């Protein structure tokens, strides 16, 4: 099993907005959908998937377990509720969304619960999100590298997270990038714009292509059909060494997602 390189994110999209986004994406050829319990949109996504007519086996669905549900008594029952909302018997990937605040639930407990969920056929793969190097070490100690499909982390041209990425690669953990466009900030960057003009591409295509070329999976979101279609084309854009070097130079550790009381001590 592996993680698809390109998919649709649904963060901050709810109700009719997420239904329209998912339906439009599926019509364009998207087959990977990323959601989470805390997004409050699993049920709406389930409706969109059911109405799309796309066969379940063609889809790759990811959800994430919220911090309140990480314990032994809650994780599997909460995942079953997510499946009910999504209208499916299983998801392809289940992640710990954030490490338990204050390590209230040890990483080992949550990872072992995910393994139980996998053994029960509720999820095909398991993984982690927003995990630092020490937290990845705990996850590996609990279930082994071979059972950790990905670590989904904030990663953009402005936050390239090299320390975490390099450690993950050395230990066989795949990286999924979220907030890859830096909330749209990177779309206005002069360096990115110059590369886009050079390739007759959009800034979003350049950034997404760069991330995939680095080996990361990407999950951009959009409510606009034209942007969904355009983002899809990033898979065929090829950047050259000068482009990659220019983007590497944009790294400035500009972290946008750092919720108080939830974020770990970042590497």
Domain assignment of residue 88, yes or no: yes
- Taking only the tens place, the pLDDT of each residue in 179-201 is 999 999 999 999 999 999 999 99
* Residue with tokens 């450690």, as numbered in its chain: 167
* pLDDT(30) > 80: yes
Mean pLDDT of the 202-210 span: 98
What's the pLDDT at 109?
A: 98
What is the average pLDDT value for the chain, to the nearest integer? 98
Mean pLDDT of the 72-85 span: 97
Domain assignment of residue 107, yes or no: yes
Domain at 135, CATH number: 3.20.20.100
* pLDDT(99) > 90: yes
Question: Where does 97-226 show beta strands of DSSP type E?
Answer: 123-129, 151-154, 175-178, 217-218
Cβ neighbour number for residue 194 with a 10 Å cutoff: 13
Domain assignment of residue 206, yes or no: no
How far apart (Å, rounded) are the C-alpha atoms in residues 25 and 168?
30
- Taking only the tens place, the pLDDT of each residue in 247-259 is 999 999 999 999 9
What's the pLDDT at 1?
A: 64
Cβ neighbour number for residue 27 with a 10 Å cutoff: 13
Active site residues: 39
Instruction: Work out the angle between the directed axes of helices 133-143 and 107-119 (0-180°, nearest 10).
Output: 50
Q: How far is CA 150 from the centre of its chain?
A: 9
Binding residues, by number, are 97
How far apart (Å, rounded) are the C-alpha atoms in residues 230 and 16?
22
Domain assignment of residue 144, yes or no: yes
How far apart (Å, rounded) are the C-alpha atoms in residues 16 and 35?
15
Domain assignment of residue 190, yes or no: no
Domain assignment of residue 75, yes or no: yes
Contacts of 211 (CB under 8 A, 6+ apart): 155, 177, 180, 218
Q: How far is CA 177 from the centre of its chain?
A: 6
* pLDDT(239) > 70: yes
> Which domain range does residue 78 map to?
8-182+215-223
How far apart (Å, rounded) are the C-alpha atoms in residues 124 and 118?
6
Q: Could you tell me if 35 and 41 are in contact, meaning their C-beta atoms sit under 8 angstroms apart? A: yes
Domain assignment of residue 254, yes or no: no
Domain assignment of residue 232, yes or no: no
Contacts of 240 (CB under 8 A, 6+ apart): none
Mean pLDDT of the 21-27 span: 98
Q: Percent of the chain scored above 90 by pLDDT? A: 99
User: DSSP secondary-structure letter at 98?
Assistant: S
Give how many domains the chain has, as a whole number. Answer: 1
Binding residues for substrate, by number, are 97
Burial class (CB in 10 A: 0-12, 13-18, 19+), 204: buried
């Amino acid at each position: 099993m592996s993680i698809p390189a390109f998919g649709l994110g649904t963060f901050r999209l709810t109700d009719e907005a997420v239904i329209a986004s998912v339906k439009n994406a599926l019509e364009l050829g998207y087959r990977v959908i990323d959601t989470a319990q805390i997004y409050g949109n699993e049920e709406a996504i389930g409706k969109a998937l059911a109405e799309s007519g796309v066969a379940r086996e063609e889809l790759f669905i990811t959800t994430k377990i919220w911090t309140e549900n990480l314990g032994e008594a809650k994780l599997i029952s909460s995942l079953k509720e997510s499946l009910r909302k999504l209208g499916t018997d299983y998801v392809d990937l289940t992640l710990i969304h954030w490490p338990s605040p204050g390590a209230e639930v040890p990483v080992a407990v949550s990872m072992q619960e995910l393994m139980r969920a996998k053994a029960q056929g509720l999820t095909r793969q398991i993984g982690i999100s927003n995990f630092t190097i020490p937290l990845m070490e705990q996850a590996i100690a609990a279930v082994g590298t071979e059972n950790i499909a990905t670590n989904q982390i904030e990663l953009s041209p402005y936050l390239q997270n090299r320390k975490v990425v390099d450690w993950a690669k050395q230990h066989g953990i795949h990286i999924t990038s979220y907030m890859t466009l830096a909330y749209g900030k990177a779309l206005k960057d002069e360096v990115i714009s110059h590369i886009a003009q050079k390739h007759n591409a959009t800034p979003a295509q350049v950034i997404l292509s760069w991330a995939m070329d680095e080996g990361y999976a990407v999950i951009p979101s959009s409510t606009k059909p034209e942007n969904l279609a355009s983002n899809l084309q990033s898979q065929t854009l090829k950047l050259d060494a000068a482009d990659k070097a220019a983007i590497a130079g944009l790294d400035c550790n500009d972290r946008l997602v750092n919720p108080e009381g939830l974020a770990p001590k970042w590497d």
